[in-house]
Structure 1
Amino acid sequence: MTSAASDKDDTERMAAHRRNKLVLDQARAAGLLGIANDVLVSARLPASLVAAAKHRAHIASDTELLKIALSRLALEDDFGPKLVRRKGGIPRGLGLDF
C-alpha cells in the first residue's frame, strides 16, 4: 500500500470514528442510550450487508454496528417528508425574481 493510500485510509477511518462518536453522543444526549444494554436483538442478515456496513463505519463489533445504526435511525430528522408535504405551498402569482 502506498503512503498516499495509507493516509487516505487513516483519514477515512478517523472521519468514520468521529461520525460514530457524534451519533452516539447525540443519542446519549437525547436519552436513547442508557447505562444498561437490556434488550437482545437477533437477526439473520446477509453477510455481505453486515461486512459492507462494518467496513464503511470502520467497526468490528456487531453490537457497536447495531447501536450506531439504530441511533442514526432514531435521530433521523423528517426534513424530506416535511419538504414533500409543502409541495404546492407557494402561490403561483408570487414573484420569485432571482
Structure 2
Amino acid sequence: MSNRGATAAENDKRIAHTRNRLVLEQARADGLLGAAKTTRLSGRVPVELIEAAKKGAHVTSDTELLELASSRLALKDDFGARLVSRKGSVPADIDLGI
C-alpha cells in the first residue's frame, strides 16, 4: 500500500491508528483487555480536553479514548531505562554518515 500523495493529516491519522492498534494488541496480550467490560469510570473534565485528546488519538468515542489512554498508562514504558542501559554499546568511531 503506497502513501504517495497522502496529505500530512492522512499520514498522521494512519500512524495514529497503527499506534493505537499496537497499544491495544499489547494490552490484550498482557491480559489487560478482555471481552467483558465490567467497570464504569466517570469524572468531570473540560470538554476541550476530551475533544483535543480524541482528535490527537484519532478516536471518536469516550470509551475508545479511555481504553486507549488507560492501556498506554498501564503498559510498561521502559524506553528511557533501555536507552540509558545501552550507553557505551555503540563504538565511538562508528560512521553515522553525517
Question: What TM-score do you get using the length of structure 1 for normalisation?
Answer: 0.72
Alignment of 1:24-35 (within 5 A): 24-35=24-35
| Higher alpha-carbon Rg | 1
Aligned pair count reads 80
Which is helix-richer, 1 or 2? 1
Counterpart Cα distance in 1 of 2:50 and 2:17:
17
Q: Does 1:11 align with 2:11?
A: yes
Large movers: runs of 4+ above 3 Å:
none
**Cα offset for 1:76?**
3.2
Aligned AA for 1:29?
A: A
Q: Which whole-Å deviations, capped at 9, do the CAs of 1:56-94 have from their partners, x for residues lacking one?
A: 0011100000000000000032555x69xxxxxxxxxxx
Structure 1, unaligned runs of 5 or more: 84-97
Q: Does 1:38 align with 2:38?
A: yes
Structure 2, unaligned runs of 5 or more: 83-91, 93-98
Identity of counterpart residues, as a percentage? 52
Give the match's secondary structure for 1:73. helix
Aligned AA for 1:31?
A: G
Alignment of 1:1-98 (within 5 A): 7-78=7-78, 80=80
Counterpart Cα distance in 1 of 2:43 and 2:59:
18
Aligned-pair Cα RMSD in Å: 2.0
